[in-house]
Chains A and B, each alone.
Chain A
Amino acid sequence: MAAILCAALIVSLFEAPEFDDDPDVAVDQPETDDLYEDVIITPPGLGKLTTSIVDMHGQFVGIRCSTCHGAGDIGDPPAQYADELTEFHREMEFSHGDLACASCHATDDRDKLTLASGALLDYDDTMDLCAQCHSSEYKSYQHGAHGGMSGHWDRTQGERVRNHCVVCHDPHEPAFPQVTPADPPRDRFFGTQ
């Protein structure tokens, strides 16, 4: 009898303790369908050249590339590189590695872009083009670690608003420009004066 009691006691000592699920810590994982979609801010006028003409809404009128580069180019063949430009597009700054115009712009269909594979791409899908070379940035972007965010961190309550690459980076001159900072707080901490 004593042996049975002892055995029961030993078993009870080694019995796995029961953990109550703390309701405060439990994370309800919402179904993917319940989440708000990301909203990506796409800059207006992608694939158009901005002119100095102003429309009735006060916006500068953009013209499609094919307006000039239509069925065949008129006159001289178009420049291969930015430094060969003699007349048009000279108002733009070009500083993006050693890229040729045709590295991104399709020569067959002037209203499209081209991937390295030769496949044509709509201007709205520019991010796929950028991602060919800037894959680490694109990977960070896909996980919210590049490109910034506004709106909601909690996608069960509202959408996350993201930037398109071209919102921040000019594709022809993608480096972030120097800016004048906002005023610092006047609390005299850590000042140089």
Chain B
Amino acid sequence: MTDPTDDTTTVEANDGGIDRRTAMKALGATLGAAAFARAMAPLRSWSADQSMDEFLQQHYKRLSDEDMERILRRLEQETYDEYGAQVHIDDPQPIPGVQFGYALNLSVCNGCRKCVEACHIENNHDRSTNNSYIRVFEMEQGSMDFEKGTADYDHTVPAPGKYYMPVQCLQCDNPPCVDVCPVEATWKEEDGVVVDYNWCIGCRYCQAACPYHARRFNWKKPEIPTGEVNPVQAYLANRIRPAGVVEKCHFCLHKTRKGGAPACQQACPTGARVFGNMLDPDSDIRWVLENKRVYVLKEDLGTRPRFFYFFD
């Protein structure tokens, strides 16, 4: 402890002009200011890639009808500015009393990947990666484990000794992807699991959590020629997704919530796919569930998929 009567010590410290404490304060303030500036850097590029309106956009479930209307028109304008395509984006809601179910007949699927192609076109996927929400696995006959399947086979199909299993989002009733999302950008609606691409922060937890590898990440902004943009779009469905967000199959809700068939089913040349309302006792899907021996993928995980497979 310094003796207050010892004048020499006090004089020495004041002579230097800056004592250690002040120097540390200055250094701290400088570093703090630099870190703050760095943290705020995205704000500087607001006008470049994000409008103020988009930055301040609320979570989907808190949007009023007027908000949604404004957002949809803004997204249409952005699509026109960036892709040169006139599109119509709306936000169809689940139909009361409708629970979608999907079944796929593995006895007749021949692995032609027409569903993959139809999904690619319908959902405005990036042309350069040929992205699609569906993967078709070529499987050894007798094997049931699609993790051992091959998704990039390149020969005429069906090959001897093989069968083919298309896998897409199974719209689980107990979805692990929804449980892990830290920002509630993905949730289960009455008829399927959806993603708000404007709310997703791109952490990819959901991609890691999905046992069916159903989710895709947009590593870059999708490239789509103007003439190939599908103009019939929906907010939670096939509108063009920004870079850095996760996406997945939504059972073509922009069509199916209006009574239409999903694109993969329309495209299937073998008739392997059956889609419909599981609550309607007269529907095709109900007949399949009641009369065919259906199974789901990785049933032991307790995810309760809405997508069923069967053999004739």
Contacts and interface: CB of A to CB of B under 8 A. Distances in A.
A binds B: yes
A24 B103 CA distance: 25
B97 interface: yes
Interface in B247-271: 256, 258-261, 265-266, 268-271
A148 interface: yes
B274 A178 contact: no
Given A145-B274, A145-B292, A157-B258, A27 B113 contact: no
B92 interface: no
A82 B304 CA distance: 52
Contacts of A192: 150, 152-153
Given A153-B277, A168-B269, A189-B151, A180 B156 contact: yes
B219 to A, nearest CB: 10
Interface stretch (B16-24, B25-33, B78-86, B127-135): B127-135
A121 interface: no
A143 B291 contact: yes
B287 A152 contact: no
Contact of B149 (A149, A154, A190): A190
Interface string A140-167: 1001111111111110111000010000
Contacts, number: 151
A176 B147 CA distance: 27
A117 interface: no
B208 interface: no
A153 B158 contact: no
B280 A27 contact: yes
A25 B279 CA distance: 9
B13 to A, nearest CB: 65
A189 B260 contact: no
Interface residues of A, number: 42
Interface in A1-56: 23-29
Interface string A173-193: 000101111111111011111
A158 B117 contact: no
Contacts of A24: 96-97, 190
Contacts of B116: 182, 184-185
B260 A151 contact: yes
A182 B284 contact: no
A136 interface: yes
A186 B112 contact: no
A179 B151 contact: no
A187 B97 contact: no
A193 B284 contact: no
Nearest to B129: A186
Nearest to B167: A190
Contacts of B124: none
Nearest to B148: A190
Nearest to A140: B312
Given A157-B260, A179-B110, A182-B112, 11 more contacts: A24-B97, A145-B288, A149-B265, A149-B274, A152-B261, A153-B283, A179-B156, A181-B154, A190-B137, A190-B149, A192-B153
The 5 A-B residue pairs whose C-beta atoms are closest, nearest first, are A144-B284, A148-B271, A157-B259, A154-B259, A143-B287
Interface of A: 23-29, 136, 140, 143-154, 156-158, 163, 168, 176, 178-187, 189-193
Interface of B: 95-98, 103, 105, 108, 110-114, 116-117, 120, 129-132, 135-137, 147, 149-154, 156-158, 190, 213, 216, 256, 258-261, 265-266, 268-277, 279-280, 283-284, 287-288, 291-292, 312
30 contacts: A24-B190, A25-B279, A144-B288, A145-B103, A147-B271, A148-B273, A149-B265, A149-B275, A149-B284, A150-B261, A151-B260, A153-B256, A153-B259, A153-B260, A154-B277, A156-B259, A163-B271, A168-B270, A168-B271, A181-B154, A184-B113, A184-B130, A184-B152, A184-B154, A185-B129, A187-B216, A190-B137, A190-B147, A190-B150, A191-B150
